[in-house]
Amino acid sequence: MAASFTLEKRTNRFGECPIRISWAFGDFRYQTTLGFSIKAENWDNLRKEVKAGTHNLDGVAADDINHYIKRIKSVVSGIETYYKARNGFFLDIWMKEAIKDAKSSNFHSSFDIIERWTVNAASTDDNRKRYYRSGMDEYYAFICNAFDQYNRDEFYILQEMFGSTKRIIVPKRDFEKRKDGSMWATAKFVEVTEDEALGRVHRE
């Protein structure tokens, strides 16, 4: 869903309420504050922005605060449109950084920020069903790939098949055998057949 903006119920010592941002996309959610506080009577609860012609006690005008609100809305909308079209997802750790970018003055426009974050595309282009068994004998279904542009790491997103059916993020290297000195270490996750993953056959 699009980012939403609300006033927190708590007030600071000057009687102003922080403006809170909430962003939920798929299974991931991120919340933070905008960095500005205002009097409750200066908040337009219908438009979800600061009432025109007002300012907070720091002297920041409504137009300036609303500029950041509109910019964040634009960034979130652009990112969600991109990932929805590709049946992808956007992790909460990426949400945090994307909103931080939108709140900064390091980018000329919201389009620059959207372009930066759409390189993280994670899609399910591979329609083949894939299943993995962990070293703890837990079974997972493959959801999609992911890429962390900061650490330049590739990941797989897996969903637990039984129990809590939680989703986990696993580095791609954990699916590969690695040489540890003179010995080869077993991969932490091994691909298995659908029959084994669903319990139709017993593992030997």
CA distance 19 to 203: 54
* 203 part of a folded domain: no
* 126 part of a folded domain: no
101 and 183 in one domain? Answer: no
Q: Comparing 14-28, 41-55, 121-135, which segment has the lowest mean pLDDT?
A: 121-135
Last residue of a domain, one of 89, 120, 151: 120
User: Position 88: which residue type?
Assistant: G
142 and 81 in one domain? Answer: no
pLDDT of 140 > 80? The answer is: yes
Q: Could you please report the per-residue DSSP string of 20-88?
A: EEEEEETTEEEEEEEEEEE-GGGEETTTTEEPTT-B-TT--BHHHHHHHHHHHHHHHHHHHHHHHHTT-
Q: Which residues span the domain enclosing 16? A: 4-120
What pLDDT is attached to residue 18? Answer: 97
Give the distance from CA 85 to its chain's centroid: 16
Overall residue count recorded for the chain in this entry: 204
pLDDT of 183 > 80? The answer is: no
In this prediction the pTM is 0.64
115 and 18 in one domain? Answer: yes
192 and 108 in one domain? Answer: no
* 204 part of a folded domain: no
158 and 97 in one domain? Answer: no
Residues 18-37 as b or e (16 or more Cβ within 10 Å = b)? bbebebebeeeebeeebebb
pLDDT of 53 > 80? The answer is: yes
25 and 113 in one domain? Answer: yes
* 53 part of a folded domain: yes
166 and 90 in one domain? Answer: no
53 and 8 in one domain? Answer: yes
25 and 115 in one domain? Answer: yes
Give the distance from CA 120 to its chain's centroid: 11
What pLDDT is attached to residue 152? Answer: 66
Q: Comparing 59-68, 111-120, 147-156, 174-183, which segment has the lowest mean pLDDT?
A: 174-183
156 and 101 in one domain? Answer: no
Last residue of a domain, one of 87, 120, 153: 120
In Å, what is the CA distance from 189 to each residue of 71, 145, 170?
41, 15, 9
Looking at the 3D structure of the chain, how many domains does it have?
2
Looking at per-residue pLDDT, the higher value among 179 and 136 belongs to 136
165 and 114 in one domain? Answer: no
What pLDDT is attached to residue 108? Answer: 86
> Is the separation of the CB atoms in 142 and 156 below 8 Å?
yes
What pLDDT is attached to residue 192? Answer: 87
CA distance 96 to 114: 14
Provide the pairing of β-strand 43-44 with 28-38.
Answer: unpaired
Looking at per-residue pLDDT, the higher value among 105 and 89 belongs to 105
Q: What is the pLDDT of residues 152-180, one digit of tens each?
A: 678 888 888 877 667 788 888 788 776 55
CA distance 20 to 6: 5
Last residue of a domain, one of 73, 99, 120: 120
